Amino acid sequence: MKELFASASFAGAALTMLCFFIGSSIKDKFKSQVFNPILIAIITIITFLLITGIDYDTYNSGAKYISWFLTPATVSLAIPLYRQIERLKNNVFAILAGIFSGVVASAVGILALAVVFSLSHPEYVTLLPKSITSAIGMGVADELGGFSTITVPVIIITGIFGNITASAVLNFFKITNPIAKGLAIGTASHGTGTARAIELGEVEGAMSGLSIAVAGLMTVIVAQVFALLH
């Protein structure tokens, strides 16, 4: 199995698609967000790799072509956003203020945890950019002297957690406006959350996509300020 996987260039991609398809089928059957296709695929693949003894690099030599599309897909988020340009223009203050408040809320939350857990400064700045997209978050953590090798997995898990819990959290807090829903999801859980926002609707998806960029850029600055506080 190991040798087959190492010599077959489509093995990693095929395994990823198969496991995602299984995850989608399970979700369709139970109609519950607990059965999240992304999470099911990740758990199934990790289990498979651990059982067969195939290492991550061998898997990723085929699977990386799927990740490669993440950049063109992120760029493509500009298209649903452009379709909402009127809504964007009419609410530009509410949108920017909403995202900014979320970026500050994330930093305040991490600061509170740093105090509660008495984290060291490098540990604190490691978690500071945890809500934003991983490439920016990794850069922010590095720049501030954090451990970006911890920042990245925390960001990834945040995204999956946001994707799974978004609907329940928004319902619980009675956030019903589609613009507010999209911004909330994107600001709290970047691209992986956005994948869920797209399923909720065109406006939600567009606004969530916008938040990935705006929250990411705002965090670059806000994190610098918050890094001075602990």
Shortest approach of another protein to residue 70 CB, angstroms? 5
**How near is the Cβ of 3 to another protein at its closest, in Å?**
20
Could you tell me if 138 and 216 are in contact, meaning their C-beta atoms sit under 8 angstroms apart?
no
* DSSP H or E segment with residue 129: none
Contact in structure between 126 and 148 (CB atoms under 8 Å): yes
Nearer residue to another protein within complex by CB, 29 or 93: 93
Structure tokens at 12: 């990693």
Nearer to another protein by C-beta: 173 or 228? 173
Reported as type and span, the H/E element at residue 201 is none
Query: Which residue, 2 or 83, has its beta carbon nearer to another protein?
Result: 83
Smallest separation (angstroms) from another protein to the CB of 122: 10
Q: How far is the CB of 8 from another protein (least distance, A)?
A: 16
In the bound state with another protein, the residue whose beta carbon lies nearer, of 50 and 228, is 50
Tally of CA atoms within 13 A in the half-sphere of 18 that contains its CB: 9
- CB distance 95 to 210 below 8 Å: yes
